[in-house]
Copies of this chain bind each other. A is one copy, B any other.
C-alpha cells in the first residue's frame, strides 16, 4: 500500500495512453430531436426513405409543356399553345397538358400530367388564352425529376457523421424528425481535499480553505471533449461519504475522475474502493507535471485519478483523458488543436521525465507564431489563462533552443493567441486601457520583469513605472501617477516617510520588481543620505518592509482590512477605497514597444487607445496626462 503511494514503478506516457485507450467508456445510443442534433454524432447510417423531391418538379417559373410541341420554335417563329390552366407550388395540378397545350407553372410546383418540360417565363408571351413559346426545349428541361436530389433507398449519411447545419438540412429534406446519435459518455467528478470550498460558498482563509478550481475546469473540459459531466457533492474529509460517492459514481458513469486527493487518507480510500470493486491498471506516470496519476476500473466504470494542482490536472486531462472521451463520443481531434511555432527564448530542462510544458503564444509582426514557457509553478491558477497550451518535451531533452520549432497542443480548440501581449507594472489606468483592446494578454509581473522580458524580445510591449535606465525601446505613450503611503481614513500620525521609519507601524510593501517599490527605495535612499545612514538601516526599522504583496491595490486592501497601518500605493487606490493618503511623489508610467513589433496590428491598437489617455486620466484622481 505504502509502496504504491510512492509511485515507484512509473509507467511511460505511451503506456498511460494505451491503458487509458483500452478503458471501455463507450456510451450507448439515444434518439434526439432534429433541432437538438447539432454537434452530435450519428449512431447509425441513415438511408433515404423517400424520394426528394417526391414528385417531378418545375425548377423555373414558366409554362409546363410537351417538349415535342416546342421543337423548331424560336424568337422569329414561336410555337403557340393553348393555356389550359395553372399549377402553383404546394397544390395538386388540376389540369393535364395534352398535345398543343401548356399550363402556367411556378417554381417548385408539381408537373401536370402530360408535360415533360418547362419553358421559362422570360421566353414566352401570353395573350388571351394562348402563350407564344419563343424557344424550343428538350424533355426534362427545367424539371427536377422525383428522386433526382435524393432517391429513396440511397445512403444519405454514414454512421459516425458529426451533425452540422448541413446534415440537419439533408435530414430535414428527408423528413427525419428524430436522429439516432451516440450518447455522450457520462463522466463523474469526485473532488476530494479537506481544504476545498465550492465557488459561491464562504471561504475561511484562516483555516487554509481555497476555492475548488478543478471541479469546474474539469466539468467544462469534459463537455468540450463531448462528454456529459456530473459533479458529485464535495465530500471534504468524510471518507465514508467519499467511498459511498465513488461507488455511486461508478454505477452512474462511464468514467469517474477524481482530483485533489493530497491527503494520504483520501488516497487510501480510493485504493481500497478500487481494490474491492475493480482493478488498478497504473499508478504513476513518468511525466512532469502529473506523476501521481491513477488509472483503473471501478465496477463497470473506468477510473482516472488526476493530480491536485489545477494546471497539472488540466494538462493531464488534456493529454491523456480528453482523447479517450472524444474517441468514445465520436469526435475528431479538432484540426486547430495543435499549432506550430518557434521558441521565443531558450528554455532549459534537465529532468528525466517527459515534460508537459505550459506555453504561451504570441505572434510576431509577420504573424509568425512564437512560443514562450509559462512557469509559475503548477500551484498557480493564473497559469491557466497565461498559457495557451502545452509543449511535450521528450525525456532526456536538455534544452529547447531559441528559434527551435515546437508544436503547441492547445488547451481548447477555441484558444487563439492574444492580439497583443504586454508585461510589466500593474496600474488602474492600464486596466481601463486593456478593456478597450481586443483580446489583449497582460502579465502584471512588475516593471523590472517587464523590461527584462522586453529585452528578451518576447512581449509586444512593456509597461514601466518610475525611473527607467537606458531603455532604447520606443515609447508608445504613458501617463503620470501620484504614489505614497495609503493609510486609514481617520487621522493617523503618519505624515511622511520619516514618520514611517521613526514610528511603530505595521507596513505592507510591494515586490522588488514593481516600479512603486523602486520609487520607495529611491526615497529611502534620499532620506538615508540626509541622515547619513544606509537605506538598509532605515528599512530594518520599518515593520513589514519585507512583507511584499501581489498587486498594486494589495497593501491598501490590507490597510482597509485593518491588518496594516500603512501600505505602499497610489493616490488613485486610496481614493477608490476611501482611505487616507500621504503623497510621496509622482512617477511616470511608460508603455514601451518591442522594437521588432511596432508594425504589428495589436501594437497599433495600443497606440490608438493611448491617444485617449487624457480622458481616462480625468476620471482617476492622482493620475494625469504626460507626454514623453
Which A residues are within 8 Å of any B CB, using their own CB?
A: 34-35, 37-39, 45, 47-48, 50-55, 57, 59, 87-92, 106-110, 139, 144-155, 157-162, 164-178, 193-201, 203-221, 223-224, 231, 236-237, 262-263, 308, 310, 314, 332, 334-336, 376-377, 379-382, 384-385, 411-412, 414-416, 426, 431, 434-435, 437-440, 442, 444, 546, 548-554, 556-557, 573
Contact = CB atoms under 8 A, between A and B. Distances in A.
B154 A332 contact: no
A543 to B, nearest CB: 14
Q: Please name the 3 residue pairs, one residue from A and one from B, whose CB atoms are nearest each other, closest first.
A: A151-B550, A153-B553, A54-B205
Given A110-B207, A154-B444, 5 more contacts: A92-B208, A147-B554, A153-B552, A167-B384, A170-B384
A377 B59 contact: yes
A169 B213 contact: yes
Say whether chain A's binding surface is mostly helix, strand, loop, or mixed.
Answer: loop
B165 A440 contact: no
A411 B439 CA distance: 25
Contacts of A434: 155, 158
A203 B172 CA distance: 12
Contact of A334 (B210, B414, B551): B414
A440 B150 contact: no
B554 A169 contact: no
B166 A385 contact: yes
A165 B195 contact: no
A431 B158 CA distance: 9
A376 to B, nearest CB: 8
Contact of A164 (B310, B411, B548): B411
B554 A153 contact: yes
Contacts of A207: 90-92, 110
Contacts of A204: 92
B106 A164 contact: no
22 contacts: A38-B220, A45-B435, A51-B205, A57-B379, A92-B206, A92-B208, A147-B550, A147-B554, A150-B382, A151-B554, A153-B551, A155-B434, A164-B411, A165-B220, A165-B411, A166-B385, A169-B381, A170-B381, A172-B199, A175-B200, A175-B201, A177-B200
Nearest to A217: B169
A50 B203 contact: yes
Contacts of A154: 426, 444, 550-551, 553
Given A262-B107, A263-B106, A546-B139, A157 B385 contact: yes
A195 B89 contact: yes
Given A52-B381, A168-B216, A553 B152 contact: yes
Contacts of A206: 55, 92, 110
